[in-house]
Amino acid sequence: MIGRIKGNLIDKSPPIILVDCQGVGYELEVPMTTFYELPDIGNEVMLLTHFVVREDAQLLFGFASHQERKIFRQLIKVNGIGAKVALSILSGISLNELMRAINQSESDLLVKIPGIGKKTADRLVLELKDKFKDMPAYGSTNSNPSQLDDIQNALIGLGYSLKDTGNVLRELPDEISVNDGIRQALKMLSKNL
């Protein structure tokens, strides 16, 4: 399985991008949240991936964060939700809004996403409610999600669990820098050990 890809971004036309990794061009489909974070063409990019092998195709999906990929993987486990619909969900709503809609059974918010009807929205709420209740949300709406995501990715890279890092991220002050956030999060995590 391909878990991560790093290389030069050579083409991007939503939702498909092309990444050159030492002479091999990998075509990835990405949600719009990831697409907007991509650097300019010609710059280096690193994305987490999910590889899907079907009878008629092999598809590679790219994500800017561990949490985005984890939610994508939860979405495709829901009956009737394929990879394309999961990508549409991630493109049509922020991660915080999606988790809030699932946790608070607000299926009306999910119906606003293109391709999601009332029955599908209800099924998403029903099947994912238990999966999302312990999943950490990003900080308050005033926080910068990409900074918190960078902090969380760094902590996960150091071996901390997604649940532990999510709990710590909620306690960080708004508008904290990545370096200060990592430093403070490590202090909090070491007290919990």
User: For residue 143, what are its two tokens?
Assistant: 């926080």
- Listed by start position, the domains of the chain span 4-63, 66-132, 145-192
Best CA proximity match to 6, nearest among 21, 18, 16: 21
pLDDT of residue 190: 82
State pTM to two decimals. 0.69
Residue pLDDT tens, the chain, 193 long: 788 999 999 999 988 999 999 999 999 999 988 998 899 999 999 999 999 998 999 999 999 988 899 999 999 999 889 999 999 999 888 888 888 888 888 888 888 888 889 999 999 999 998 877 666 654 434 345 567 777 877 777 777 776 777 778 878 876 788 888 888 888 888 876 5
- For the segment(s) 145-192, the CATH number from 1.10.8, 1.10.10, 3.40.50, 1.10.1740 is 1.10.8
CATH topology of domain 66-132: DNA polymerase; domain 1 (1.10.150)
CATH topology of domain 4-63: OB fold (Dihydrolipoamide Acetyltransferase, E2P) (2.40.50)
Q: What is the largest CA-CA distance in the chain?
A: 51
Q: How far apart are CA 178 and CA 159, in angstroms?
A: 18
